[in-house]
Structure 1
Amino acid sequence: MSRHRLARQRGFSLIVVLLILVVATVLGVAAAQLSLVNERSARNDRDTEIAFQAAEAALIDAESDVLGPNGSARQRLCLFSRHDVTAFVAGCGGAGEQQGLCAPGEPGTEPAWMTADFSADDARSVAYGTFTGRSYPSGDAATARAPRYIVEAVRSRGGWQADVLQSASAQATSYVFRVTAIGFGMRDQTQVVLQTNLYKPASSPGCPS
């Protein structure tokens, strides 16, 4: 075999090896990127699940706040009456025991939950445990901050019983309480909002009927 032909074969082999190295490098980089994307996705899913659980916990806390039982020294069960919502404030701007209580909006206006400020330094929403004495669990899955909620008084268009309509007279007006809760993940940017309606058929024990 001539030296010229041998040199050509070695040159061709070198090109093949370089191509294989390039392909292997590209595949390695792609695999690393895919792994990072999967890890980020799994982390986001976990963070969203933490935020969802926090929002659910806030709904449960709000239910105790509105319906009881609530043995906290700060409980405000008497403020929640289906016939008297004078404690509820326009724009959710209450303070003290009126914190987070949103008066019914005018017809055609946006509901309070769409414009409420759920930031930690805003007194128009209630932090978890404020009126129940509960504390939100902390640990490896601790949230960025405690979940919060507001309670809106919403005029009831019907009774709690099936097929029973409510009287349209002003004297018979009654209300249900719409709770909107927000939960946060391990990052403040991860947020989940949940909502429920609470019906309180009778006053809490010790409250005016």
Structure 2
Amino acid sequence: MSPRVRASRGFSLIVVLMLLLVVSVLGLAAAQNALLGERIARHDRDTEVAFQAAEAALLDAERDLLGPNDHAARRLCLFDGRDVSAFVADCAGTGARLGLCAAAPVGAKPAWTQVDFNADAGPSVAYGRFTGQVYATGAGGLSVRAPRYVVEALRSRGGGAQGVLHSASAATATHVFRVTAIGYGPREETRVLLQTTLAKPSASPGCAGASSSSS
């Protein structure tokens, strides 16, 4: 075999090896892209599940605060825009006062930032605790655990008629209620936190201070 033929075969082998290397690199990149796409899709799904759970907790809190709620554990009478004595500092309430947080002092961090939502025995309220509602959890793309929430009583700073002076005394103060809810995805580490503010201008029927209409 002539030296020229051997050199040609040697060059062909190098070209084939280079092509195999290029194909291998392209295949690895495609596999990585597919894996990344699957992770992104799973993250989006998990986040959506957690978001829906947090929204459900906000609705459950709204039922807890505003009604209608005929569950035996209902506590509608504790939510009164003029009487927030049921709300406890540091969200330390228990029993019917569970998850009711007094407003933090001026300049301090909001009460909800100090709450450990992950502790089942902590100060937050599990979905359905005071309404009897049930939130499906478990395998199959569902939330790993039920969503939770806390409620803060905040001094109302608005809502008055323009050009009219309003009393600033504590006796005439009104309050709104800020709800902070957390929802979980199929994995514990996937969480979504949502907030809303609810106003309750009058007490619920059957509570002290509720207005009654005469027929």
Give TM-score scaled by structure 2 length: 0.92
1:12 aligns with 2:11: yes
Contact persistence 1:94–1:123 (CA under 8 A) = no
Deviations 1:5-28 (A, max 9, x none): 111111111110000000000100
Aligned pairs (5 A) from 1:143-162: 143-159=143-159
SS at 1:71's partner residue?
Answer: coil
2:32 aligns with 33
1:96 aligns with 2:119: no
Contact persistence 1:88–1:98 (CA under 8 A) = yes
1:168 aligns with 168
Contact persistence 1:158–1:165 (CA under 8 A) = no
Number of aligned residues:
207
- Cα RMSD for the two superposed structures: 1.5
> Measured at CA, do residues 162 and 19 of structure 1 come closer, stay the same or move farther in structure 2, by a change above 3 Å?
farther
The structure 1 segments of at least 4 consecutive aligned residues displaced by more than 6 Å after TM superposition are none
Show structure 1 runs of 5+ residues with no match: none
Distance 2:77 2:13 in 1: 86
Give TM-score scaled by structure 1 length: 0.94
Deviation at 1:166, TM superposition (A): 4.6
1:182 aligns with 2:182: yes
Contact persistence 2:149–2:180 (CA under 8 A) = yes
Deviations 1:81-104 (A, max 9, x none): 001111111100111110000012
Q: Percent identity?
A: 60
> Measured at CA, do residues 35 and 162 of structure 1 come closer, stay the same or move farther in structure 2, by a change above 3 Å?
farther
Deviation at 1:168, TM superposition (A): 1.3
Kindly provide the amino acid, as one letter, of the partner of residue 131 in structure 1.
F
SS at 2:195's partner residue?
Answer: strand
Kindly provide the amino acid, as one letter, of the partner of residue 204 in structure 2.
S
> Measured at CA, do residues 166 and 115 of structure 1 come closer, stay the same or move farther in structure 2, by a change above 3 Å?
farther
Kindly provide the amino acid, as one letter, of the partner of residue 119 in structure 2.
A
